[in-house]
A and B are shown apart, each in its own frame.
Chain A
Amino acid sequence: MVGRRSQPSERRRLHRMRPRPESPGRAPVPTAPWSRKDRILAVLVPALLATIACVQIARVHTLDQSPWSGAGFGMFATIDGETTRSIHGVVVSGDETTEAALPENLRRSAFELAVVPTESATDELAERWAEELDLPDDAHLVVSVRSVDIDQDLRLTTDVIVEGTS
């Protein structure tokens, strides 16, 4: 004997009444109140994240630190960053100026300067760079950190963020 097919509305009611099988890997919905310990543990890491991200924002605004760097979330938000900033050295001797290549052993320092381009760090890099070049007494090295910008016509222009001398 073939049983009668239940009406759609009845089937829906029966479906709702059927106990839902416990899904493997799914934790039961919590009902107990939060313990004080758990409340604190849950908030610690988000609070740490927010604090460091706020410090990063402050450092960007006060030290010209790269928005892309320093445990903040400014990546892919602005052109200005350590990878688009460039470091240039020019030897000045009297009226003559000559471009100077960055020594290999100063690459890391130059990168750190691009991240946080302070005047003191720029002067320090200029000193070390000049020592590597073994400049004559009447010459000095000017180091600049430049950022790049783009206009509506796709023209790239550079701007000096900070300059230092040996």
Chain B
Amino acid sequence: MTATRLADDGPLRRLVDGSYVDHLCTLTLVVVVINSNEDPPLFLAALAALVVGVLRPGWTRTPWWWFATAAVLAVRQISDWQGIDNHVVVTTYWTLALALGLAADDPARVLARSARWIVGLVFGFAVYWKLASPDFLDGDFFRFTLLTDDRFDAVARWIGGVPNEAMVLNEASWLAVLRGDEGALLVGGPRLDALALFMAWFAIVTESFIAVAHLAPLRGRWVVLRPASLLFFCLGTYIVVPVGGFGCLLAVLALADDELTPTWRRAYLWLFAGLVVYGPIWWLLFG
């Protein structure tokens, strides 16, 4: 039996042997593809860029590649800003940060700091919005979302105890409101209130922790709080809601930490790979 070996000077060998900044560039190419999936022309362009990036890794290690990528993404997103999800915008920020980082005297250090502050600010603003929304704090947001958003359907039924037939009725009631009815009554389950409150406060506590850990100038052993809190959030959130695009982006931002230990680096690479395959499997099983 002969083991499969990578060609000594092939594109995959160059990819695997690259530095961690090289890996960041390659993983970001994948993230751009995943987060462009709702815009077919952009998706195809991102796919082509990924193929080029694998075959000619050197091209994607230049600031100009990422300036061009950020410019294309930004133009598309500004022209359709009303319907763009926030993680897609953060993907554009990160491509711009890559461009600037690769133009720096010390790319690894600049990328690490940019990524850390991006994560801290994203979660900081997310916490601001949650604390500023009374319907989030009292659990109303998740009560509503669990009963009307099909991405939460399995959680509402399995954990919230909402009967299947109630979910069908809820969908019809919600559609009627969207079509013009002035009100409707949704049907819950025995554990819906507790679940909604738990989800709300889980989000507030973990997101606050991540924001503080990434914005504070931690030193020594305390820096482990950054990868640990982000990994905890990703596992807790993306198992329930398969929004793999955001999860993969967060994994790349975590991997940009130039002081990350090999163990954490492996954990985030596994997370990245897991999220890429988990989304389609989730929809197949529960969607």
Contacts from A to B (Cβ < 8 Å): 23, 25-27, 29-30, 32, 34-35, 37-38, 41-46, 48-50, 53, 57, 67, 69-80, 82, 86, 88, 99, 111-112, 115-116, 148-151, 153-158
Contacts and interface: CB of A to CB of B under 8 A. Distances in A.
Contacts of B82: 69-70, 82, 111-112, 115-116
Contacts of A86: 177-180
A88 B81 contact: no
9 nearest CB pairs, A to B: A77-B129, A46-B117, A73-B125, A78-B133, A74-B129, A45-B97, A42-B113, A154-B186, A115-B82
A25 B20 contact: yes
Interface size class on chain B is: 35 or more
Contact of A156 (B81, B83, B93, B173): B173
Contacts of A26: 20, 260-262, 265
A2 B275 CA distance: 50
Contact of B101 (A41, A46, A50): A41
Name the residue in A44, A74, A78, A156 with the highest tally of chain B Cβ atoms < 10 Å from its Cβ: A156
Interface stretch (B40-48, B136-144, B226-234, B276-284): B136-144
B86 A71 contact: yes
A38 B108 contact: no
Contacts of B184: 155-156
Given A29-B259, A32-B106, A69-B83, A49 B118 contact: yes
Interface string B79-90: 001111110011
B19 A25 contact: yes
A119 B148 CA distance: 29
- Which label, helix, strand, loop or mixed, suits the secondary structure of the B interface? helix
Contact of B183 (A50, A76, A116, A157): A157
B248 interface: no
Contacts, number: 175
Contact of A37 (B104, B121, B140): B104
A133 to B, nearest CB: 16
A25 B129 contact: no
Contacts of B147: 154
Contacts of A53: 121, 125
